[in-house]
Structure 1
Amino acid sequence: MLDIKFVRENQDVITQAMKNRNGSWDVDKFNELDESRRSYIADEEAMQAKRNTASKQIGALMREGKADEAEASKEEVRALNEKIAEVSAKRSEAETALNEMLCRIPNIPHESTPVGKDETENPEVRRWGTPRKFDFEFKAHWDLGADLNIIDSERATKLAGSRFVLLGGLGARLERALINFMADTHGSRGYKEWWCPVMANGNTLYGTGQLPKFEEDLFHTTEGLYLIPTAEVQLTNIHAGDVLEASQLPLKYCGYTACFREEAGSAGRDTRGLIRVHQFDKVEMVKFATPEDGFNQLELMVEDAENILQLLGLPYRVISLCTGDLGFSAAKTYDLEVWLPSYDAYKEISSCSCCTDFQARRANIRYRDPNKFKGTRYVYTLNGSGLAVGRTMAAVMENYQQADGSIKVPDVLVPYMGGVEVIAADQL
């Protein structure tokens, strides 16, 4: 959420930022609500002061034996209490409407975020590795998985419906191997690992910006809980309401969870395989940093995600999201896209973002540094996929497939696969 004072004093900045995001905001409505709220506060405070004065007079009048005047003052206090209650209700109504408006305004893009209309205008930052040229007819991962009996889409549909995955045998082991490899690797680079609930309450999802704007993308229960779309939700909110010490920062967390998304609006897109499903595994990275260090930590987070792809030997590219493709809470985002032969293109496998103090303000996450300032300030929060496991599995299967239909296991995964070096049909 943006600071209301910043919004009040920088309306031209916000108007331009929303335009760059292909959106808009109702500045007239904001001003109307803001002025009403401040007017009600002023009226409320004036009447409270008047009531307090009248209340003090009652005792003095009673001591002086002026009962009639004291009774008149009591009537004045009762009338003021009624008026205060009315104004307080109107003030509360204006505040609710104002907060509802503020919580739906996305973050302001950082000055280094390129301006653009949509994903077609995302500039490429760098590439690593060279896409493989096959000397045989390669297969898409969904066909490889079916042939090796490690991905069973038909039974997944029987069990749960479309856009779910059932992995068997060495497919299940490969998924688990990737999760453990990613978590261990991030742990070796200073990330503290957490094991989180896959359900969250509304306050938690509000803190990271999924609610109220993106409720249609979430699965929810009858008990008011939601299945999380990413471990970012839980890892960031670990410190909701906390005041951290500057000496602790940056804090680096990671965690594996299953993730759940309705994929609303994606009908007809990536209907086969592991790319776009309702339930998927992901290892997530989250950081808490000072404002001065936030964007530096973003660059380091991207390096941590790249490290996973490099260790796996998977070709990828890094792009910088333009303003028209930027996520709701993000001020700056890099996407990592892995090469998938079946698409003859790079596909997103990680998204790393600096959210400035946007989430911290919603979740009330602050820090103190007595040597530099009085009181507390909001931290900067960062999040990034490290990586999306299903998409990584698809990339491994396609890029490491062999002419005989088997899949060579990347060297770094062999220990996690119990020594299995090749996934072949005759092993199942």
Structure 2
Amino acid sequence: MSTNTFLSSQSNDPSFANVWQELKWRGLVHVSTDEAELEKLLAGEPITYYCGFDPTAPSLHLGNLVQLLTMRRLQLAGHKPLGLVGGSTGLVGDPRPTAERTMNTKETVAEWVGYLQGQVQRFLSFEGENAARMVNNLDWTAPMSALDFLREIGKHFRVGTMIKKDIVASRLNSEEGISYAEFSYQILQGMDYLELFRQYGCVLQTGGSDQWGNLTSGTELIRKVEGKSVHAIGTPLITNSDGTKFGKSEGNAIWLDAAMCSPYAMYQFWLNTADADVVERLKVFTFRSRTEIEELEKAVAERAHTREAQRVLAYDVTSLVHGEEATDKVIAASAALFGQGELEALDEATLVSATSQLPSATVERGSLNIIGLLVASGLVPSNSGARRTVAEGGAYVNNEKITDPDAVIDDSKLLHGKYLLMRRGKRTLAMVEVPA
């Protein structure tokens, strides 16, 4: 099922007076231009707003998902989104806190622009009176000469102000320093806002609070050039309650591309959310109402062991990103691994994804005796240990208990012709692959 099927079922919570109040309750406003003016603006006639995504990787990640869902909430309130994928800013890259970005080739950036546009399109509606539009800042940046850029845009920026921006200041004080290219990034982003203001009447930009300096470069440029006041919202950088960085699993980012982070890995990431974090995650990453989230908060307080809130969170977000069908397969796989479903019913991709983090081994055909399999998989350290495991009733192959220590597993038992799921006891699993 396509994630687009969710668009028609999504809605903002009618218990709030307006979308601004809901954004505040969900913890999505860390910093902004004039709050009273913003609330009035968002409660009034439809406005056009934008958020930018740079193709510095072939996929968006969970940090970008915060922005996509914020954009969707504003669209559901009747406002008109512009999804900008930065074909030009992606060639430079916004400054990182620690070191210079590696510049990718123009061909790579162009390819990634296409990938990211496809991802952005899944989360917004491109139909109706407030249909979203996709824009690419390369369209107005590429035709501009360096002299025109300096004369028409650069003259409005003051170096003293630019070097006070947090990210620039931190890089200037580091051994790495900052290149002129990255230093100029805020000018490029400011020009984007000006161009979208002129073309579409865009009066609001959203982004992460760590981008605040870049967001305000646009509001200031429009004030100087056009004499108009426009707005910006900076969403908070989400961190875990224990201080660790959100959106990381085993040292890897949680990407929205299924090839880079499988639906199973995504589901497990959310399922492992700490009790202290799960309510805030539900507010930010789901369209559950205030009443529903308060009920789940009560469940965390009264019966945390059921992990009801985590299961709702995992289902909703994985379904948003990968669709309900993929999520249902993930849940079926999780159950099947521990004997609560049919392993044979899992397609190969789901099986491989679900077992990708398990200990694994490769064995030759003709060596499929239970003792050898238990040892090869690492579930037991020795033949004698394997015999003891079988004797005690703790040896399983594809969830079938093996009681004969001399048993040889027939090739017909191989899942998809080449896999065996080994289990010792109730929960200790390993995967064995048997090449053809």
RCO higher in 1 or 2 (8 Å CA, sep ≥ 6)?
Answer: 1
Please tell me the TM-score bracket, short chain as reference.
under 0.3
Question: Which protein has the bigger strand share?
Answer: 1
Question: Which protein has the bigger helix share?
Answer: 2
